[in-house]
Structure 1
Amino acid sequence: MEIKTILVSLLVTALGIAVAIAGFAAEAKNRKNSLPTMGYYSSECDDYSSSPVVGIAIAAIVALVIARTIITATTGGCCMCCRTPNISTFARVCIVISWITSSIAVILFIVGAKVSGEKGGEIDVNGVYNCYTLRPGVFRAAGIIGLVSVLLGLVYYLLYVLARSRAAEKSGVDLELEKPPVTDFKEPTNL
């Protein structure tokens, strides 16, 4: 494997792990999950919205977008899987599923951050005041789905690199840059 392929793989894997860790950290920091139902308005609902969950969710989204950008940039851009004739169907399926799952993860992180950041609550039919809460597991699911998305993108990237190197070997063209030719240099004569 080339150094570039190894570095891209390590970077994308690290970003995927960061997305998963951020999902689990946001789930752990989401203190409103354990907030009891209150019979009257309380400022506790406003205090619970000040947790760092929103920042963690935004960091996870940024890591996921960076990973997607790296995969897209190193494989020739969006829809390159359709334009590369010698790439396998499995690789094409991986990238499509990767795009779908990354979109789902981003949506879950955004919705989770929005609900976690809301202050106040609402009065239900029985007149009981409930704080806005996020169902347990949303951030955890977003982290796992984000990790799966990045790993599927990595599988696509590795299969893409493999297909490109096989195509280069088949055509006999070397993908590396050639060294410039060395020419004889004549010193100018003094006239």
Structure 2
Amino acid sequence: MEAGVFVVSAVVGLFAVASAVLGFIAEEKKLSPDDIDVSSGECEYPANAAFVLGICAVLLLAVAQIIVSSVAGCCGCCKPRAGASESRRVTGIVCCVFSWIAAIVAGVSFVQGAAWNAPVTRDTAPLCYYLKDGVFRRAAVLSLVAAVLGIKSYIMLRAAAAIEPKPDGQQPQQLAPAAAVATGYPQQYAYPPQGYASNQQFPAAAAAAPDQLYGQGPSTQYPPTKGYGEV
């Protein structure tokens, strides 16, 4: 894994885990029916740690989502890509969309839980409402799901961008003959190979007898021997 991917994943995961931990703690600290006082026909909700924990949790979740969406290019929509990596890009966009859906549901649950644990007085006596169980817990789990989907979206979109062809349509340059030999590609010659004469370059040689061209003419080193004829 590249250093940049590791850093982004670690930061986003850290914020998401912190948000989830605060959510689980808020679930244990939330107001119960016994904590609510009834005075003069009003329900008085005392100060509670779940209110602050819920606000901090939703802020951490928002920061995590903003970071992972920014580095991923706004879910891949700010820089649309196409080509061989189209399938990875679509997968990254789908993960990003579901990540935001989970984050929004988690954020609403955090805000709902914090609102019902705020230190206020409500004129609802003798019926005093309180937060049911599982709201903060659901938000904590969804914050982790949102972070996992966001990181997966970032990795998929980054991988799609890595194998994307150049936008200007330029193709890789042709290898030089020396580079072609070094890389194992066949070398093409634009001139006759060494050792072979061209008729255009040597017209006198082309007009010579074929046996003189190929070295089969009379030899001066070994003169011809006497011949015998029948009369």
Normalised-by-shorter TM-score class: 0.7 to 0.9
Larger proportion of helix: 1
Q: CA deviation at 1:42?
A: 7.9
Number of matched pairs:
164
Q: What RMSD, in angstroms, separates the aligned Cα atoms of the two structures?
A: 2.9
| CA apart distance, 1:35 | 2.3
Matched, 1:54 2:55: no
Is structure 2 residue 157 aligned with structure 1 residue 156?
no
Deviates more, 1:72-81 or 1:157-166: 72-81
Runs of at least 4 residues off by over 6 Å: none
Unpaired stretches in structure 2, ≥5 consecutive residues = 173-231
Q: Which has the higher contact order (CA 8 A, sep 6+)?
A: 1
The answer for the alignment partner of 2:39 in structure 1 is: 41
Counterpart of 1:2 in structure 2 is 2
What is the aligned partner in structure 1 of residue 108 from structure 2? 107
The 8 Å contact of residues 120 and 132 in structure 1, kept in 2 or not, is answered as: no
Tell me the equivalent position of 1:64.
Answer: 61
Higher CA-based Rg? 2
5+ unaligned residues in a row in structure 1: which ranges? 124-128, 174-191
The question of whether the paired residues in 2 share the 8 Å contact of 1:119 and 1:132 is answered with: no
TM-score (norm 1): 0.74
- Secondary structure in 1 matching 2:150: helix
C-alpha separation in 2, matches of 1:64 and 1:110 = 12
Matches within 5 A, 1:24-173: 24-30=24-30, 32-35=31-34, 41=39, 46=44, 48-77=45-74, 80=77, 83-85=80-82, 86-87=85-86, 88=88, 89-121=90-122, 122-123=124-125, 129-167=126-164
Instruction: Report the identity percentage.
Output: 29
Query: Structure 2 vs 1, CA of residues 37 and 103 (structure 1 numbering), >3 Å: closer, same or farther?
Result: closer
Deviation, 1:154, is 0.7
Counterpart of 2:201 in structure 1 is none
Report the TM-score, using the length of structure 2 for normalisation. 0.62
